[in-house]
Amino acid sequence: MPSRPAICSHSLGRAWVHNLPEKLDAAAKYGFDIELFYEDLLYIAKYLPGGATSANHLAAAHIVRSLCDERGIAIINIQPFMHYEGLRDRQRHAKRIQELKLWMQMAHILGTDTIAIPSSFLGTDEASGDLDLIVSDMQEVADLGAAEGIHFGYESLAWGIYSDTWERSWEIVRRVDRPNFKLCLDTFNMAGRVYADPAASTQKNPNAEADMTASLQRLVKTVDVRKIGFVQVVDAEYLEEPLVEGHAYHDAAQPARMSWSRNCRLFYGESDRGAYLPVKQILKAILVDLGYRVRISAELFNRSLTEADSSVPEEHARRAGESWKKIERDFGLKTHRRQSSVQSVAREQAARL
C-alpha cells in the first residue's frame, strides 16, 4: 500500500494564532492529509454558541470534516487523548471513559478510525506505574473501540512518567493484545530519550550512538510490523547551551525534554536549521528493515508555530513538503498524492478573485 504524506494540524500553526481553514489550505497545496490536533477542533467548538459543550464538539467535528472534504484532505487520526492510563482516582478514570466515548463519536464524524494516546506525564501522585493497571485501562479503551470500529495508537513520550521508550510502549501494546490497539513510533521521542539529552553540554546521552544502534536492533528483532499503527517523523535542534535554568526555553514546571520538544522540533532533513538526531537511522529500521509503509506523518512542535505572521501555515507546509521529498529520495518511498487537494485550493483562490 503506497504511503500518503500527512502532517499534524498544529504543525502548521497553533490554534490560538492561526485558524484551521488557512492551515488546511496550506496542507492541501502541498498534498498532505492531516492528523487532527484536538486543539484545532476545540477552538472551533468553544466559539460556537454555548461554548465547548459535547454537542458543540460534535458540531465542530462536522465543520472540520466539511473543511477537509472541500480540500480533498483525509484525517488519519485525532490526537492526543492525554493523561488517560493508570489514574489513581478511578472516578476521574470513569470521567475519561465518558470523554473517550465523545471522542469516538467525533472520530466517526471526522471520517477517521484512529485515536492517538500518548503516555501520561502526570505526577506520581496522580498516575500509577502499576503495569497491570495500565494494561487493563488500555484493554478497556480497545474493547470499547472495537465495537465502534475504532483503533488506537499508543506512543511513549520521551518524558513520560512511566512509559518513555518504545520498548515500554511495545510491552504495553503486546500485553493489551487487541487487534485495534497498536504502536505509534515517533522518531523524536525515540531519539529524544535514548540518544539525546538537551540538558547536557554535549546534547547527547553517554554512549548515545551505541545505545541508539542497540535499541534499533531490538526494534527490528522484536516488533511485529502489523502492530504499528502509524509513524511520526521529525528531528530536533541542537542547542548551543544546555537547556537548564537560565535558558530561554527552560520551564521549571516541565522536564527539559518536554520544553525542548515544545520549542525545537524540526522536519526531517533540516540540518541547515540544526537538526542532529539520528532520524535517518531510525527510519531505516522502520521503513526498510521492518518494511512499514502505511501511515507516516510529520508532527512538529516549535516556537515558530505561535508567530502571528500569516505566512506561518504556508511556510511550514512548504518545509514539510521539502522534508517529505527527502524521505522519498532517501528510502525509495512511493507515495500517492490526491491531485484534487491542490486543485480545490486553486479553484477556491480563483473564486475569490
For the stretch 308-336, pLDDT in tens is 999 999 999 999 999 999 999 999 887 76
At CA 293, angle to CA 266 and CA 32, rounded to 5?
A: 50
As beta bridge partners, residue 275 has: 237
Cβ proximity of 249 and 264 under 8 Å: yes
pTM of the predicted structure, to 2 decimals: 0.93
pLDDT attached to residue 4: 81
Q: Does the structure show a pLDDT above 50 at 351?
A: no
Mean pLDDT of the chain: 94
pLDDT attached to residue 349: 36
DSSP 8-state class, residue 270: -
Which residues, including other chains, have CB under 8 Å from residue 9's CB and lie 6 or more apart?
20, 23, 24, 27, 34, 35, 36, 37, 40
As beta bridge partners, residue 297 has: 6, 232
Q: What percent of the chain has pLDDT over 90?
A: 93
- Give per-residue burial for 47-57: e unless 16+ CB within 10 Å, then b: eeeeebeeebb
> Which residue from 63, 47, 43 is spatially nearest to 110, judged by alpha carbons?
63
Q: Computed from CA positions of residues 31, 105, 166, 189, in that sequence, does the dihedral angle turn out positive or negative?
A: positive
pLDDT attached to residue 258: 98
SS3 label, residue 9: helix
Q: Does the structure show a pLDDT above 80 at 74?
A: yes
Across the chain, the runs of DSSP E, i.e. the strands, are 4-8, 33-37, 75-79, 114-118, 151-155, 181-186, 228-232, 235-236, 265-266, 295-298
Q: Does the structure show a pLDDT above 60 at 290?
A: yes
Cβ proximity of 160 and 120 under 8 Å: yes
Q: Does the structure show a pLDDT above 70 at 135?
A: yes
Give me the amino acid identity at 92.
R
Average pLDDT over residues 203-230: 98
Domains and CATH numbers, the chain: 6-351 (3.20.20.150)
Confidence of residue 347 (pLDDT cuts 50, 70, 90): very low
Pairwise CA distance, residues 342 & 349, whole Å: 11
